[in-house]
């Protein structure tokens, strides 16, 4: 061995592995299915999964093998102390310098990324897991390398005292494993063990500053191999050179087999027992073989360095350090770009590579940073001024790249109506009957085709038939065309549109319940319309991008000529030009593009936009709009967009250009030049139906958008057609706005005249207006149901903000839908800040109407048709049983302390048992923590309080090492936590210090919800248990989860509760509101259930958690909630709980004696 020898081939290999990090971290943003990151691009591809699996197979193992090799070389040159000094300077110091900078920068970009992502299926906003708030990120390799270097130095020093025969024997064993054909099979065994701890058998770094044992063993094995590879380099390196291609081929075989096993495992996790071990073994066999192959192939084919390889090697360390924030940052820029996943990957790779090389040339190669990272600094090939000019030019090139416009026309212009899909004959007959029923004078014919539990877009049978009757002017006998059909076990999901002599029945009017997930079901052997079974409206309009600007008119006389009869020119006339692309739509409507030309008209002091032209690219959208009164026609609208939000739009009709529109995004804030008189310029459109009656139309969000962002820029319009030229001068330029949104949107169409509302609703609206006029916010809030304050936090915040700017708040109701005790009103609110389009949901409680909000309460569930309630309960029961069976087959039960001890300041609370002084038998109390798994100061106080009351106390920690269990999908299911509680009950029942007849349970938040379930009979049947908890207490539990926020409805307060149960709740709790518990508890109590409850009016969620007071978190509804400790409520809650247990667990002396004898 020659310690001064330079291994250029291995330098080249190390450099290439570092550069592959860019590919890996770009691809991971586009993976299909489960991802190691908590942010992701909307465009995904299986190619990204393959890149991730392929590169991950060998990249980090080769890194650690080479790291061990070069550490051994350094020790041979400089000794252990010299090696550590060198590694601290070249690894430790860069880590200390760059980690904080990269952490902050990457965190900023991740925050931007998360702001673009939609809510998940459970309504949860994207947020970083609590266990990853501070971590080593991609620099974990450097961090672990420092640990391994220290261990290597320590082993080197201790090795001097080891017998020479032992040292030689260990070295010979490593040499044998590294050179024999079967050696990799043995080397893989430890990796199969470490991989078994991970869901897919592959060890993934968690980034923790506290080294993970599995990662230490896994990565340490490769590092150690590198150490011995250096020792036996004369024999092993030629061996790998000779057999490199054989190792590569054998590795490919193992990789293919591993991917096949993973595919089977992914489709059926229970396909084989302990499949993670098998998967880890196969995968890491490929790892060893490809690692040997890469070392040999690089030594054979790239044994030396040329200028290009030298540059790549020198830049690789810098690229490794800084590439990650670039991949995330460019991912943010590309998030809404209209490209495929592979195109985005290619653009991000090119941009990140360019950015890394540019920063290397400007900031590293010729600066002291190069000496820090690579041990040497290159001489400047050019004068500093020339280099500066080159840097500016390169920056300008990069900026110019973001301005390059690409084709953004995802869907071509459709001049023909959507083609019909083939449906079974009986379905075709039903559709003909339905179309004929629409021509009947009354609604009886349609009613006969609706199922008994019909529900569509929040309308039951009566409400839908009333809706049809009010809108008869839009349809007659119709021809219904199906465009998509999906068969389900319980019916057929069908999307369709209808045409009649009055035109296309506009999907946005919701007159044909064959869209938005609507189904047909059979009743008495006949097909019936079932609707989409949605209590709230499901939207057809889901994602859009829009540019809009208001211009001063070029010719006021032409402006006047185009005003509709009876309307005047406003004080500030404007011509509006808007271009919108609807990128995501619900069937039967397809994505399309549209432009708008409109002028501002005024009547009786109110302004409205009068649409003059509305070209669109889709036949169905055009015909449906024309039937309502929109001035629509089919046109070609070609849009080109850049990464920097630059738009170039060409609007053509029959080959002739109508107008050209350009939008240039700028970094600015809203100024007085943009819509300075906005209060007088609403966003409503003025239309005229076929009878000539004036109607209004506007787009409104049905719920807070999942994502929404806006920006400003300059719009330039070059009019070509006569109408456009009359109103706009050539090259017209105005400050414009760019808006992107994703969520649920609806086109509301309603008459100008207000509709009549019942006296009770009018009383509510008048009282609300009076409260605003008096600036009495308490009175305003008193007109809102508690559910509104929980489900509509964002609306409440907006209302509070507007409260400071207007005393006028008058509802103009244009449309009313009543459904029993619920009603929905659409219209606008007149304020001093202008007219605001608005929809509101109302609820009649005890004969009084109140504003209700988005909904999702238990009271609402009780007013659903019985068939719907039964179906939801059945699904919940099936889920409980399925999850319970899975829990029973996993065999991952908790281990509890075998002895009961007395509590001390050093006691570990998790799954331990603590007893009062004395021999007992004592009553026992099982404590179930909340979803955060907090077992700290507050839990310590709960344990102390229980012991002081004479209880044996156990804290059941169900999280099994997970940092939290708050975000869906839950890492530990409710069913798993229920079984853990029963296991704790059985364990305590066998302890001599415990009276088995007096064991109670108390849960907090999610633990409280588990406590609710434990007091029902069904929970014992799930797990075949005979023993029951004697009583339960639930602190601020979730009693009911609406399907609006979860995958399905869940009613945790069971009808079969037969054990004493106490609920302690907060009146200001917006996480688990008391109003979802109280009416259900009243019903249960009236039926004889042993339930009691108390509400602390001013308490919020987690009022007894002193250590988190002042901190905030997100609720599962997407709202931010701040914890606030309430000492008085905490003390009173403890008092009430123990008094409740004292009453319910009391045993008579004879029974007490029986218990003592049984123990003896």
Average pLDDT, the chain: 85
User: In this model, does residue 1149 exceed pLDDT 70?
Assistant: no
* Number of Cβ atoms within 10 Å of the Cβ of 670: 12
User: In this model, does residue 329 exceed pLDDT 80?
Assistant: yes
User: In this model, does residue 882 exceed pLDDT 90?
Assistant: no
Res. 585 pLDDT band, cuts 50 70 90: confident
User: In this model, does residue 121 exceed pLDDT 60?
Assistant: no
Tokens representing residue 754 in the block? 């207000």
User: In this model, does residue 669 exceed pLDDT 80?
Assistant: no
H or E segment at 472?
A: none
Length of the chain equals 1160
Res. 677 pLDDT band, cuts 50 70 90: very low
Tokens representing residue 68 in the block? 């061990």
**Averaged pLDDT, 401-417:** 78
865-903 residues labelled b (16+ CB within 10 A) or e (exposed): eeebeebbeeebeebbeebbeebeeeeeebebeeebeeb
Please tell me the predicted confidence (pLDDT) of residue 682.
Answer: 64
User: In this model, does residue 290 exceed pLDDT 90?
Assistant: yes
What whole-number distance in Å separates Cα of residue 409 and Cα of residue 407? 6
Please tell me the predicted confidence (pLDDT) of residue 128.
Answer: 61
Please tell me the predicted confidence (pLDDT) of residue 1059.
Answer: 93
510: nearest Cα among 741, 791, 842, 815: 815
Range ranked top by mean pLDDT from 52-56, 522-526, 981-985, 1067-1071 = 981-985
User: In this model, does residue 257 exceed pLDDT 70?
Assistant: yes
Query: Which pLDDT tens digit goes with each residue over 143-162?
Result: 999 999 999 998 888 877 77
Better-predicted residue by pLDDT, 133 or 422: 422
Range ranked top by mean pLDDT from 125-129, 218-222, 963-967 = 218-222
Please tell me the predicted confidence (pLDDT) of residue 706.
Answer: 72
Res. 797 pLDDT band, cuts 50 70 90: confident
**Do residues 461 and 521 touch, judged by C-beta distance below 8 A?**
no
φ and ψ at residue 1156, rounded to 5 degrees:
-65, -45
Please tell me the predicted confidence (pLDDT) of residue 619.
Answer: 92
- Out of 414-423, 470-479, 765-774, 1038-1047, pick the least confident: 1038-1047
What whole-number distance in Å separates Cα of residue 108 and Cα of residue 101? 11
* Number of Cβ atoms within 10 Å of the Cβ of 383: 9
841: nearest Cα among 850, 852, 849: 852
733: nearest Cα among 663, 817, 807, 658: 663
What whole-number distance in Å separates Cα of residue 283 and Cα of residue 54? 10
Q: Which CATH number fits domain 425-531: 3.10.450.50, 3.40.50.2300, 3.30.70.890, 3.40.50.1820?
A: 3.10.450.50
Please tell me the predicted confidence (pLDDT) of residue 269.
Answer: 54
What is the domain partition of the chain in residue ranges?
Answer: 8-401, 425-531, 544-751, 759-855, 894-1159
Please tell me the predicted confidence (pLDDT) of residue 303.
Answer: 83
Coil, helix or strand for 1153? helix
858: nearest Cα among 879, 872, 840: 872
User: In this model, does residue 799 exceed pLDDT 90?
Assistant: no
What whole-number distance in Å separates Cα of residue 413 and Cα of residue 635? 8
Q: List C-alpha distances in Å: 235 to 176, 228, 229, 238, 838.
A: 11, 12, 9, 6, 79
Query: Which pLDDT tens digit goes with each residue over 1079-1132?
Result: 999 999 999 999 999 999 999 999 999 888 888 777 877 777 888 999 999 999
Q: Where are the beta strands (DSSP E) in 684-808?
A: 685-688, 694-701, 707-719, 732-751
Angle between helical axes of 384-401 and 341-359 (0-180°, round to 10): 170
What whole-number distance in Å separates Cα of residue 924 and Cα of residue 946? 9
What whole-number distance in Å separates Cα of residue 503 and Cα of residue 627? 5
Number of helices (H), then strands (E), belonging to the chain: the values are: 32, 36
DSSP string, 923-940: EEEEEE--TT---SHHHH
For residue 159, the 8-state DSSP code is H
Query: Which pLDDT tens digit goes with each residue over 23-67?
Result: 999 998 888 877 777 788 888 888 888 898 899 899 999 989 999
Cβ-Cβ contacts under 8 Å for 853 (sequence gap 6 or more): 784, 785, 787, 788, 789, 790, 791, 792, 795, 841
Please tell me the predicted confidence (pLDDT) of residue 856.
Answer: 75
Res. 914 pLDDT band, cuts 50 70 90: very high
**Do residues 1118 and 123 touch, judged by C-beta distance below 8 A?**
yes
**Averaged pLDDT, 505-520:** 83
Please tell me the predicted confidence (pLDDT) of residue 615.
Answer: 95
594: nearest Cα among 647, 641, 633: 633
Coil, helix or strand for 962? coil
Please tell me the predicted confidence (pLDDT) of residue 1086.
Answer: 93
Query: Which pLDDT tens digit goes with each residue over 616-641?
Result: 999 999 998 888 889 999 999 999 88
**Averaged pLDDT, 263-289:** 76
**What is the chain's alpha carbon radius of gyration, rounded to the nearest angstrom?**
35
CA angle 120, 124, 130 (to 5 degrees): 110
What whole-number distance in Å separates Cα of residue 374 and Cα of residue 377? 8
**Do residues 606 and 812 touch, judged by C-beta distance below 8 A?**
no
**Averaged pLDDT, 742-762:** 84
DSSP string, 295-333: HHHHHHH--S--HHHHHHHHHHHHHHHHHHHHHHHHHHH
Q: List C-alpha distances in Å: 390 to 353, 367, 1125.
A: 17, 16, 59
Please tell me the predicted confidence (pLDDT) of residue 1154.
Answer: 40
Coil, helix or strand for 1044? coil
What whole-number distance in Å separates Cα of residue 510 and Cα of residue 586? 13
Question: Do 759-855 and 425-531 have the same topology in CATH?
Answer: yes
Please tell me the predicted confidence (pLDDT) of residue 268.
Answer: 60
User: In this model, does residue 391 exceed pLDDT 80?
Assistant: no
Alpha-helix runs per DSSP H in 990-1077: 1006-1014, 1017-1023
What whole-number distance in Å separates Cα of residue 115 and Cα of residue 111? 6
Please tell me the predicted confidence (pLDDT) of residue 265.
Answer: 66
Please tell me the predicted confidence (pLDDT) of residue 1150.
Answer: 35
Q: Which CATH number fits domain 759-855: 2.60.120.430, 3.40.630.30, 3.10.450.50, 3.30.1180.20?
A: 3.10.450.50
Q: Which CATH number fits domain 894-1159: 3.50.50.60, 3.40.50.1820, 3.20.20.370, 3.40.50.720?
A: 3.40.50.1820
Please tell me the predicted confidence (pLDDT) of residue 589.
Answer: 83
**CB burial of residue 423 (10 Å; 0-12, 13-18, 19+):** middle
Please tell me the predicted confidence (pLDDT) of residue 334.
Answer: 86
Q: Where are the beta strands (DSSP E) in 111-241?
A: none
Tokens representing residue 992 in the block? 């001599």
Please tell me the predicted confidence (pLDDT) of residue 518.
Answer: 86
For residue 1016, the 8-state DSSP code is B
**Averaged pLDDT, 658-664:** 94
Q: Is the dihedral of CA 851, 857, 862, 865 positive or negative?
A: positive
User: In this model, does residue 398 exceed pLDDT 50?
Assistant: yes
Res. 403 pLDDT band, cuts 50 70 90: low
Tokens representing residue 382 in the block? 């050019």
Please tell me the predicted confidence (pLDDT) of residue 1049.
Answer: 82
- Out of 472-486, 694-708, 1001-1015, pick the least confident: 694-708
The overall pTM is greater than 0.75: no
Coil, helix or strand for 364? helix
Tokens representing residue 484 in the block? 């998509």
- In CATH, the number for domain 544-751 is 2.40.400.10
């Amino acid at each position: 061995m020659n310690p001064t020898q330079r291994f250029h081939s291995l330098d080249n290999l190390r450099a290439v592995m570092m550069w592959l990090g860019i590919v890996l971290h770009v691809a991971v943003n586009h993976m299909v299915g489960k991802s190691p990151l908590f942010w992701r691009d909307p465009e995904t591809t299986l190619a990204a999964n393959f890149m991730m699996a392929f590169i991950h197979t060998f990249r980090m193992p080769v890194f650690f093998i080479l790291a061990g090799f070069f550490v051994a070389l350094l020790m041979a040159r400089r000794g252990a102390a010299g090696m550590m000094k060198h590694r601290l300077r070249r690894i430790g110091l860069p880590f200390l310098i760059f980690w904080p900078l990269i952490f902050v920068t990457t965190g900023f970009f991740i925050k931007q990324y998360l702001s673009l992502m939609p809510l998940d299926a459970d309504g949860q906003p994207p947020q970083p897991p609590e266990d990853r708030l501070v971590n080593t990120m991609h620099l974990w390799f450097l961090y672990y390398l420092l640990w391994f270097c220290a261990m290597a130095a320590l082993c080197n020093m201790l090795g001097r005292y080891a017998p020479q025969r032992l040292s030689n024997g260990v070295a010979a064993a490593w040499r044998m494993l590294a050179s024999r054909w079967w050696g990799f099979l043995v080397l893989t065994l430890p990796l199969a063990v470490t991989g078994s701890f991970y869901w897919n058998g592959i060890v993934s770094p968690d980034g923790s500053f506290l080294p993970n044992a599995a990662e230490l063993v896994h990565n340490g094995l490769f590092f150690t191999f590198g150490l011995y590879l250096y020792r036996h380099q004369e024999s092993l390196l030629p061996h790998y050179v000779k057999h490199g291609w054989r190792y590569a081929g054998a590795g490919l075989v193992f990789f293919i087999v591993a991917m096949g096993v993973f595919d089977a495992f992914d489709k059926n996790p229970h396909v084989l027992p302990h499949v993670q071990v098998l998967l880890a073994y196969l995968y890491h066999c490929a790892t060893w073989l490809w690692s040997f192959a890469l070392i040999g192939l690089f030594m054979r084919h790239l044994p030396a360095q040329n200028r290009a390889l030298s540059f790549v090697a020198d830049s690789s360390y810098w690229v490794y350090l800084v590439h990650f924030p670039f991949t995330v940052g460019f991912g943010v820029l590309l998030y809404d770009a209209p490209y495929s996943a592979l195109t985005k990957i290619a653009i991000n790779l090119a941009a990140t590579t360019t950015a890394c090389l540019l920063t290397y040339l400007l900031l590293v190669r010729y600066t002291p940073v190069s000496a820090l990272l690579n041990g040497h600094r290159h001489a400047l090939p050019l004068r500093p001024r020339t280099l500066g000019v080159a840097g500016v030019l390169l920056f300008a090139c990069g900026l110019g790249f973001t301005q390059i416009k690409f084709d953004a026309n995802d869907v071509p212009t459709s001049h023909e109506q959507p083609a019909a899909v083939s449906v079974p004959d009986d379905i075709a007959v039903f559709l003909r009957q339905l179309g004929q029923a629409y021509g009947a004078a009354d609604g009886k014919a349609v009613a006969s085709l609706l199922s008994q539990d019909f529900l569509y877009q929040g309308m039951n049978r009566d409400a839908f038939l009333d809706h049809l009757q009010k809108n008869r002017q839009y349809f007659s006998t119709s021809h219904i065309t199906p465009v998509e059909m999906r068969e389900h076990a319980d019916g057929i999901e069908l999307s369709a549109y209808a045409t009649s002599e009055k035109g296309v029945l506009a999907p946005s009017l919701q007159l044909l319940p064959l869209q938005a997930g609507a189904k047909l079901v059979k009743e008495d052997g006949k097909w019936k319309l079932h609707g989409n079974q949605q209590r709230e409206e499901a939207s057809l309009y889901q994602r859009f991008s829009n540019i809009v600007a208001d211009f001063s008119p070029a010719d006021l006389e032409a402006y006047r000529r185009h005003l509709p009869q009876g309307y005047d020119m406003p004080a500030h006339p404007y011509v509006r030009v808007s271009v919108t692309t609807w990128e995501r739509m619900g069937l039967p409507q397809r994505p399309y593009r549209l432009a708008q030309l409109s002028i501002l008209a005024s009547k009786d002091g109110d302004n409205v936009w009068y649409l003059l032209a509305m070209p669109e690219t889709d036949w169905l959208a055009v015909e449906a709009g024309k039937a309502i009164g929109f001035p629509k026609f089919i046109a070609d609208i070609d849009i080109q967009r850049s990464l920097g939000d630059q738009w170039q739009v060409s609007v053509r009709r029959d080959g002739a250009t109508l107008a050209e529109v350009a939008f240039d995004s700028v970094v600015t804030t809203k100024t007085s030049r943009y819509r300075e008189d906005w209060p007088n310029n609403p966003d409503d459109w003025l239309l005229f139906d076929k009878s000539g009656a004036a109607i209004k139309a506007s787009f409104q969000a049905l719920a807070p958008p999942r994502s929404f962002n806006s920006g400003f820029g300059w719009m330039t319009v070059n009019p070509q057609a006569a109408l456009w030229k009359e109103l706009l001068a050539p090259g017209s330029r105005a400050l414009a706005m760019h808006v992107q949104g994703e969520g649920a949107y609806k086109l509301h169409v309603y008459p100008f005249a207000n509709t009549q509302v019942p006296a009770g609703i009018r009383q509510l609206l008048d009282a609300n207006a009076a409260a605003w006029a008096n600036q009495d916010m308490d009175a305003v809030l008193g007109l809102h149901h508690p559910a509104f304050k929980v489900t509509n936090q964002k609306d409440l915040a907006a209302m509070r903000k507007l409260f400071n700017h207007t005393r006028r708040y008058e509802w103009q109701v244009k449309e009313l839908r009543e459904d029993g005790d619920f009603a929905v009103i659409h219209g606008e609110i007149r304020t001093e800040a202008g007219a605001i389009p608005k929809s509101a949901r109302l609820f009649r409680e005890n004969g009084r109407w109140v504003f209700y909000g988005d909904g999702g309460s238990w009271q609402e569930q009780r007013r659903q048709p019985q068939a719907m309630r039964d179906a939801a309960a059945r699904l919940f029961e099936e889920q409980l049983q399925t999850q319970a069976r899975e829990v029973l087959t996993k065999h991952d039960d908790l281990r509890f302390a075998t002895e009961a001890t007395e509590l001390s300041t050093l006691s570990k609370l998790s799954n331990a048992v603590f007893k009062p002084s004395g021999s007992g038998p004592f009553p026992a109390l099982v404590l179930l923590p909340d979803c955060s798994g907090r077992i700290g100061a507050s839990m310590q106080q709960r344990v102390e309080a229980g012991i002081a009351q004479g209880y044996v106390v156990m804290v059941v920690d169900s999280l099994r090492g997970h940092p939290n269990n708050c975000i869906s999908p839950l890492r530990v299911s409710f069913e798993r936590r229920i079984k853990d509680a029963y296991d704790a009950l059985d364990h305590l029942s066998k302890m001599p210090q415990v009276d088995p007849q007096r064991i109670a349970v108390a849960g907090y938040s999610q633990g409280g919800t588990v406590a609710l379930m434990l007091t029902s009979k069904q929970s014992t049947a799930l797990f075949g248990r005979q023993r029951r908890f004697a009583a339960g207490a639930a602190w601020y539990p979730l009693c009911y989860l609406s399907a609006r926020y979860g995958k399905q409805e869940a009613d945790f307060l069971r009808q079969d509760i037969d054990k004493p149960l106490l609920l302690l709740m907060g009146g200001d709790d917006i996480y688990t509101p008391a109003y979802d518990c109280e009416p259900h508890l009243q019903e249960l109590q009236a039926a004889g259930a042993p339930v009691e409850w108390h509400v602390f009016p001013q308490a919020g969620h987690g009022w007894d958690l002193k250590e988190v007071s002042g901190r905030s978190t997100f609720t599962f509804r997407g709202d931010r909630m701040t914890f606030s400790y309430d000492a008085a409520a905490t003390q009173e809650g403890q008092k009430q709980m123990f008094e409740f247990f004292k009453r319910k667990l009391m045993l008579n002396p004879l029974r007490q004696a029986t218990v003592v004898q049984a123990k003896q």
